[in-house]
Chains A and B, each alone.
Chain A
Amino acid sequence: MFDFKITDSKPKKQTEGGLYDIVIIGGGPAGLTTAIYTARDGMKTLILDRETTGGLAATTELIENYPGFPQGISGMDLMDRIRQQAERFGTEIIEFEEVRAVVPVEEGLIEVHTEGDQVFQGKTVVIATGSEPKKLGIPGEDELYGKGVSYCATCDGPLFKGKDVVIIGAGNSGLQEGIPVLEYANHVTFLEFLAYSRAEQILQDRVRAHEKSTLIFNHRVIEIKGERAVTGVSAIDRETNEEKFFPADGVFIYVGYSPYTAFVRDLVDLNKWGYIQTDELMRTKVPGLYAIGDVRADNPAQMTVSVGDGTKAALAIREYLQNL
């Protein structure tokens, strides 16, 4: 019943500095994959991450559709392995260093400016910043964050042992992350805006089959209630227009993701949702500047796609640097 994991528990900050062949912004699956290729190829590679490396993938409890792990693997374990693989070939990594601006200086030199007022120089730069959970923007959401409202069921789920939980959003993320919560919570109610779930059938079947779950469709959540702690969620039944109250101690929000691209808004082409447009070689319109993974337009948010993007960028960069 217990499992024991060994992960790297210290912030990474070692760097040589100087001019890098590649500076990668974001150490999720996409960025780390590029690094595996470029560092292994002998190119000087740096990854900057605003948090710890691992990206969104590290916060998911169990990944079942990544090839090579027939029993599935925890997101953190998988990301730990991928990071070790990148480091093995000499990738330098700095964590807790948020990039604020990307400044193309001339062909073959792009500057990356961070919140900590550091400037890193790369011959090429890769944007692999992924996305962050969307907020609902309703009363109570910010006020009760950390007081029962959470965006990470893997992290905070165990705090609601024997308690009632509402999960807002019954798409892939909501169902997938809600399933482990069913193991310890008293009851889990899934509230979905749409009249159906867009999640994979296998996830829907698992949730429906569980005796502690209720799936409720066609409801618009309007407020998270509570003073010192969450007491429940108010939602409107979109069919009857009736307001209903769902008592809960914990509320997990899984209503989609929006890309981290504000810092390059004026530099590259974004689609109307803010995702970066590239060509099939992952190139943005700025020479030497690439975008990969969840942050790229028209990508399904999946690990294998991000990893594939990472590879494509690495190969394109090799060619670009050879011709520079």
Chain B
Amino acid sequence: MTLLNDEIVQNVKDMLAEIPNEVTLTVFTDDQNCEYCTEIVQLVNEVAATSEKVTVEQYEIHKDNDRAQALNIERAPAIAITGERDYGLRFYGIPSGYEFSTLLHSIQAASSGNTDLDDQVKSFLSDLNKPVNLQVFVTPTCPYCPRAAVLAMEMAIVSDLVNADVIESAEFPDLANQYNVMGVPLSVVNNQERIEGAAPPHMVVDAIRKALAA
């Protein structure tokens, strides 16, 4: 049984038809403790099958620890979405429900290296001189979550100092507890500034400013 039905497959094909550069989806599974690892591997393979520019690499987080470290991945299941460069786009958990959109947009963005952010936001990001980690907590049923997730990923595309981790909260309850996630989307900048809801770019910029000033 496939995970994606014919209609979705066709839509994915259309969305990925014109991506310019190759994208690799590097999936990390966990042999010891992983509810949906089989499905996540199947999902990325079904997505990759729709476009010759998308390929999949698969690793086990403990056995292939070097590879996980190289991509800065500490927990599984995880997907690193890389284009010509590693822009720092990571998805933790299975991108199902609305988060499937986030995965597709991240593939498009990693392929083109382009974003729709406006010039003000881009120039702010290009001028950064300290690393910025954006964590976006989401759930698959949250309609507004892809907005927050895709925004973080676009910011990561613009600046090499920014990386974006999108985290499916229900699959990582420990992490969600640690950050006291009780509502989604929740974006966390450098482990300190929190933004609740699907905020427009300038609010995220403000939060980054605050986090860097602290």
Contacts and interface: CB of A to CB of B under 8 A. Distances in A.
Specify whether A and B are partners. Answer: yes
Interface of A: 2-11, 13, 51-52, 54, 58-59, 61, 75-76, 96, 145-150, 152, 154-159, 161, 180, 228-230, 250
B147 interface: yes
Contact of B147 (A9, A149, A156): A9
Interface string B170-195: 10010010001111101000000000
Interface string B196-210: 101011000000000
Given A150-B182, A154-B142, A229-B182, A9 B97 contact: no
B15 A6 contact: yes
Contacts of A4: 3-4, 8, 43, 96-97, 100
B182 A250 contact: yes
B12 interface: yes
Interface residues of B, number: 46
Contact of A156 (B94, B182, B201): B182
Interface of B: 3-4, 8, 11-12, 15, 39, 43, 94, 96-98, 100-102, 104-105, 116, 118, 139-147, 149-151, 154, 169-170, 173, 176, 180-184, 186, 196, 198, 200-201
A155 B142 contact: yes
A293 to B, nearest CB: 19
Contacts of B15: 6
Nearest to B176: A159
Given A4-B3, A159-B139, A147 B200 contact: no
B169 A158 contact: yes
A216 to B, nearest CB: 23
B162 to A, nearest CB: 17
Contacts, number: 114
B147 A75 contact: no
A228 B181 CA distance: 11
Contacts of B116: 10
A150 B182 CA distance: 8
A155 B198 contact: no
B104 to A, nearest CB: 7
A150 B142 CA distance: 13
Contacts of A230: 182
B142 A2 contact: no
16 contacts: A2-B97, A3-B97, A5-B97, A6-B11, A6-B15, A7-B143, A58-B143, A76-B143, A96-B200, A146-B182, A148-B182, A156-B142, A156-B182, A159-B182, A229-B180, A250-B182
Given A11-B147, A150-B183, A76 B3 contact: no
A96 to B, nearest CB: 4
B27 to A, nearest CB: 16
A54 B8 CA distance: 21
B118 to A, nearest CB: 8
Nearest to A58: B143
B170 A155 contact: no
Nearest to B150: A9
A79 B205 CA distance: 29
B184 A155 contact: yes
Nearest to A97: B200
A85 B39 CA distance: 33
> Sorted from nearest, which 6 A-B pairs have the closest CB atoms?
A76-B143, A9-B146, A4-B100, A155-B142, A96-B200, A9-B150
A2 B95 CA distance: 10
Given A96-B200, A159-B184, A6 B139 contact: no
B146 A159 contact: no
Nearest to B40: A2
B23 to A, nearest CB: 17
B13 to A, nearest CB: 12
Contacts of A228: 180
Contacts of A6: 8, 11-12, 15, 100-101, 104
A4 B56 CA distance: 19
Contacts of A145: 183
A76 B98 contact: yes
A156 B97 contact: no
